[in-house]
Amino acid sequence: MYHDYEESAEGYSPDAAIGRIRLEGRNFKTSICTKTVYNYLDAELFLGISNKNLYVKKSGAKRPYKKRSVALNNLKGTSIEERPSEVNARDIYGHWEMDCVVGGTNKGKGALLTLTERCSREEMIFKLRSKSQDCVTKVLDKLERKIGTASFKEKFKTITVDNGAEFLHFGKLEASTRKKNDKRTRIYYAHPYSSWERGTNENLNKMIRRFIPKGSSIDKIPESMIRRIENWLNNYPRRSLGYKTPSEVRYEYIKAA
């Protein structure tokens, strides 16, 4: 079962809605803060809405630890420890994190390749026939051919990934498909079992699960829905951006360049 949101404020968290209202300078007779809204939800003071309607509400219980298969023979990839300091600072547009979102067991081989820009939180989502190195490489090749090698280098200065088998051959991911012996980007590998080192992408993947719950079949998701999800994420106000949207922040960087 999939969930669909209109390309509007539907699906906003209370914090995102209140933050956006303040950013836009809207005035109402009554004004309340985010904490008050959540207190009211806890006390069930709103008619027809409660904590059950919130997508994320911590219960205090820890999730069971699930160990992921790691490509241990990936010994020549560049470690995240060598990643430039400017990537950590989030001051420059063009540094990305990449991962795959998979479907349920026995629900097909389809997967989603997700790329998240660290500075603007811009999200790009691509449907894969399978979670494989070849499918991931084909997406990057297609992107490079579409926007050109020079533009690709500018947009994707670096990409940080985990040690999954789909990202094993860093040379194929880095190599330009248009210019022989040229690199289009630089791939950095997070430490094994350290998902927080790609925390921006991890958080966006959790938001994707609002639309595609775990256990769903990604094979059956139409391209139109993927584009709607991508658009919704790129127009969702973020506290980390001062309640601006990724699309707005990306535009500011393009305008300033």
Sheet of 158-161: strand order equals 78-79, 186-189, 158-161, 95-102, 111-117, 123-128
Q: Which CA distances in Å does 217 have to 69, 89, 111, 148, 201? A: 21, 37, 9, 33, 21
What is the rounded CA–CA span in Å between residue 114 and residue 159?
A: 11
What is the rounded CA–CA span in Å between residue 216 and residue 112?
A: 12
List, for the chain, all residue ranges whose pLDDT scores fall below the cut of 70: 1-10, 14, 21, 28-34, 36-38, 40-75
Angle of helix 34-42 versus helix 14-23 axis, rounded to 10: 150
Helix (H, G, I), strand (E, B) or coil at 243: coil
Angle at CA of residue 100, ends 99 and 106, nearest 5°: 160
Tell me the sheet residues that pair with 98. Answer: 115
What is the rounded CA–CA span in Å between residue 249 and residue 240?
A: 11
Contact between 167 and 133 under an 8 Å Cβ cutoff? The reply is yes
Give pLDDT, residue 204.
95
Both tokens of 95, joined, read 């540094």
Give pLDDT, residue 93.
96
Phi, psi of 113 (to 5 degrees): -95, 125
Q: Which 3-state string (H, E, C) describes 157-223?
A: CEEEECCCHHHCCHHHHHECCCCCCCECCEEEECCCCCHHHHHHHHHHHHHHCCCCCCCCCCCCCCH
Q: Which amino acid is present at 165?
A: A
Q: Which domains does the chain have, with CATH numbers?
A: 14-53 (no CATH), 78-256 (3.30.420.10)
The H-or-E segment that residue 89 falls in is: helix 85-89
pLDDT in tens, 163-192: 999 999 999 999 999 998 999 999 999 999
C-alpha closest to that of 96 among 231, 204, 193, 218? 204
